[in-house]
């Protein structure tokens, strides 16, 4: 009887080994359980990230600029204690100085305070625009790439129509239909960017759908929603996230452009585009009213583009 138990144990071990070998051949092997080596591995990853940042001072500066803009949008009191809406008429058109870093406007309001508080409105509109483009465009691309057939044809023809219209013109048409306001401008800018997200998401889903591990999962009897959620979406999300980072900068420009044209929040709200629009009438004697808010927009856009470029190519090559 003991011999039969030993034989049964051997058969069980052989069956388990055969199952593990089959899973490995299909690319479905279970990930190894994290052991004591996970600690040193995590420290090595941290050192790799720090080394990556130290070797790129421009990237460090870009991260610092984005962090400052985010802090200004959530905690403007950390940077200035002056009221962006309260002015002192006797101090109007003061140039940049220690008391007023960005000078004062025609009503004696501190321009630096208005730029800092305007970051909240502009960043809010930009985040809404990117979120709308990411969700709607990503959903269209995933459905078109995963389902295929006539669904793919119909959705991609709709995307081609959107691509044939310049983004700014489409945003102007949409915001004219929706009405004025920060949120409506953001939605219009987001819809105008849907097409690019849909094309990238579809291309990545088509690439991942033909991978060996996806075919192996289907051959094992996995349901379509399991294949989509566990294999396709995680492996196709990377380029779409990078595109969202790139689109963040272009969305800032688009939101500022529409605010400059008067479609954003009504005065005296200190949106960045509105600040430039208000200062253009005084370029001859008060250049700082336009130049310094424009410099803030340019620095934010360049910083986000630099971070997106690092995420897109440099980090993957470093790894």
For 143-161, what is each residue's pLDDT tens digit? Answer: 888 887 888 888 889 998 8
Instruction: Give the percent of the chain with pLDDT over 90.
Output: 22
Residue 23 binned pLDDT confidence (cut-offs 50, 70, 90): very low
CA distance 201 to 192: 16
CA-to-CA separations, 304 to 70, 254, 257, 301, 308, in angstroms, rounded: 12, 15, 18, 5, 6
- Asked whether residue 211 carries a pLDDT value surpassing 80, the answer given is no
CA-to-CA separations, 196 to 33, 160, 179, 186, 306, in angstroms, rounded: 39, 10, 25, 17, 20
Which residue range is the domain that position 258 belongs to?
Answer: 58-72+114-319
CATH code of the domain covering residue 183:
1.10.3720.10
Residue 53 binned pLDDT confidence (cut-offs 50, 70, 90): low
> What number is the average pLDDT over the span 11-23?
44
- Asked whether residue 26 carries a pLDDT value surpassing 60, the answer given is no
CA distance 257 to 170: 13
Q: Are 168 and 254 in contact (CB under 8 A)?
A: yes
**Residue 156 forms part of a structural domain:** yes
Q: At what angle are helices 182-192 and 111-132 packed, to 10 degrees?
A: 40
**Residue 284 forms part of a structural domain:** yes
pTM for the model stands at 0.76
For 217-231, what is each residue's pLDDT tens digit? Answer: 767 766 766 777 777
Count of structural domains, the chain: 1
**Residue 229 forms part of a structural domain:** yes
- Asked whether residue 27 carries a pLDDT value surpassing 50, the answer given is no
pLDDT at 49: 66
Instruction: Give the percent of the chain with pLDDT over 70.
Output: 78
**Residue 5 forms part of a structural domain:** no
Residue 45 binned pLDDT confidence (cut-offs 50, 70, 90): low
Q: Which of 184, 205, 189, 199 is nearest to 130 (CA)?
A: 189
pLDDT at 2: 42
**Residue 209 forms part of a structural domain:** yes
Bond before 268 cis per omega within 30 degrees: yes
**Residue 4 forms part of a structural domain:** no
- Asked whether residue 281 carries a pLDDT value surpassing 90, the answer given is no
- Asked whether residue 250 carries a pLDDT value surpassing 50, the answer given is yes
> What number is the average pLDDT over the span 247-275?
88
For 58-117, what is each residue's pLDDT tens digit? Answer: 788 888 999 999 999 888 888 988 888 888 888 888 889 888 899 898 888 999 999 999
pLDDT at 35: 43
pLDDT at 204: 86
Residue 318 binned pLDDT confidence (cut-offs 50, 70, 90): low
**Residue 172 forms part of a structural domain:** yes
CA distance 64 to 304: 11
Please give the mean pLDDT across all residues of the chain: 79
pLDDT at 190: 92
pLDDT at 283: 86
Residue 267 binned pLDDT confidence (cut-offs 50, 70, 90): confident
**Residue 24 forms part of a structural domain:** no
For 158-210, what is each residue's pLDDT tens digit? Answer: 998 888 888 888 898 898 888 888 889 999 999 999 999 999 888 888 888 77
> What number is the average pLDDT over the span 112-126?
91
């Amino acid at each position: 009887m003991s011999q039969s138990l030993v034989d049964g144990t051997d058969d069980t071990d052989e069956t388990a080994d055969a199952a593990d070998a089959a899973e490995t051949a299909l690319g479905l092997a279970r990930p190894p359980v994290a052991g004591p080596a996970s600690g040193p591995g995590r420290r090595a990853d941290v050192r790799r990230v720090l080394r990556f940042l130290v070797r790129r001072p421009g990237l460090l500066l870009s991260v610092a600029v984005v962090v400052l803009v985010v802090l200004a949008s959530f905690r403007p009191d950390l940077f200035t204690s002056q009221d962006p809406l309260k002015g002192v008429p006797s101090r109007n058109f003061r140039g940049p100085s220690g008391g007023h870093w960005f000078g004062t406007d025609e009503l004696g309001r501190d321009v630096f305070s208005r730029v800092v508080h305007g970051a909240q409105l502009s960043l809010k509109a930009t985040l809404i625009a990117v979120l709308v483009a990411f969700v709607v465009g990503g959903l269209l691309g995933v459905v078109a790439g995963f389902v295929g057939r006539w669904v793919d044809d119909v959705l991609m023809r709709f995307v081609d129509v959107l691509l044939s219209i310049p983004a700014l013109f489409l945003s102007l048409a949409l915001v004219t239909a929706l009405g004025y306001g920060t949120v409506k401008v953001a939605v219009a800018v987001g819809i105008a960017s849907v097409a690019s997200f849909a094309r990238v998401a579809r291309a990545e889903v088509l690439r991942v759908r033909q991978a060996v591990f996806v075919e192996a999962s289907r051959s094992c009897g996995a349901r379509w929603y399991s294949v989509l959620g566990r294999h396709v979406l995680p492996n196709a999300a990377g380029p779409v996230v990078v595109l969202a980072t790139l689109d963040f900068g272009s969305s800032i420009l688009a939101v500022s452009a529409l605010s400059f044209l008067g479609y954003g929040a009504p005065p005296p709200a200190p949106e960045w585009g509105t600040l430039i629009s208000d200062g253009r009438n005084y370029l001859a004697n008060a250049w700082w009213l336009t130049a310094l808010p424009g410099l803030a927009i340019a620095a934010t856009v360049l910083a986000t583009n630099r971070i997106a470029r690092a995420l897109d190519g440099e980090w993957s090559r470093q790894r």
